[in-house]
C-alpha cells in the first residue's frame, strides 16, 4: 500500500496507533514530536493518552515528503517495540502498514501467522490484502 501511495499527488496522512506501556507515554510522545518536527511537516498525536495507545499522524504533500514521513513512522514503531510495546494497537496492522509487522514479530512468528491464515482461510476470502 505504501508503494501505491507514493504514486498519488494528493496530501497523504500516514496514521499509526502504537501500543506502549503507560509509563513510556511521555518518552514516546517527546520522541514522536522531536522526530516529526525535524521533518518540517504537519503532524499530530492524540487519543488514548494515559492508556498506552497514542495515535500519530504525519501529513505528506508529495512523494519526497511521503518517504520521510514513512521513515519517521518506522523509527517511532521500532522505539515502541524496543520499549516493550507494539507497532500497532487496537486498529491493527491492516493494508497500509504491512511493513510494520516485521518490526514487531520475528520471521518464525510471521511464518506461523501465515500458516494459520492458510489453514483457516485457504481461499483467501477474509481480509484480502490485509497483512498477508
Q: Tell me the C-alpha distance between 11 and 27, whole Å.
A: 29
The structural domains of the chain, with segments of one domain joined by +, span 2-105
> In this predicted structure, what is the pLDDT of residue 49?
67
How open is the CA angle 15-72-77, to the nearest 5 degrees? 70
The dihedral sign for the CA sequence 114, 103, 23, 52 = negative
CATH for the 2-105 domain, from 3.40.50.720, 3.30.70.2740, 3.30.420.40, 3.30.70.120 = 3.30.70.2740
Chunked mean pLDDT (size 10), the chain, 132 residues: 53 84 90 92 80 88 86 92 89 77 91 93 85 67
Supply the pLDDT for residue 83: 93
Angle at 112 between CA 108 and CA 117, to 5 degrees: 150
pLDDT computed for residue 47 by the predictor? 67
Burial of 123 (0-12, 13-18, 19+ CB in 10 A): exposed
Output the nine-digit C-alpha cell for 123: 481461499
Phi, then psi, of 90 in degrees rounded to 5: -65, -20
Amino acid at each position: 500500500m505504501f508503494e501505491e501511495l507514493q504514486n498519488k499527488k494528493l496530501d497523504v496522512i500516514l496514521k499509526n496507533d502504537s501500543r506502549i506501556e503507560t509509563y513510556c507515554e511521555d518518552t514516546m510522545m517527546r520522541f514522536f514530536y522531536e522526530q516529526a518536527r525535524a521533518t518540517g511537516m504537519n503532524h499530530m498525536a492524540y487519543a488514548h493518552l494515559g492508556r498506552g495507545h497514542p495515535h500519530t499522524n504525519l501529513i505528506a504533500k508529495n512523494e519526497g515528503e511521503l518517504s520521510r514521513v514513512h521513515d519517521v513512522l518506522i523509527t517511532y514503531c521500532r522505539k515502541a517495540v524496543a520499549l516493550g510495546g507494539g507497532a500497532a494497537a487496537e486498529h491493527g496492522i491492516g493494508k497500509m502498514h504491512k511493513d510494520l509487522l516485521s518490526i514487531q514479530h520475528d520471521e518464525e512468528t510471521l511464518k506461523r501467522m501465515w500458516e494459520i491464515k492458510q489453514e483457516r482461510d485457504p481461499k483467501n476470502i477474509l481480509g484480502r490484502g490485509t497483512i498477508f
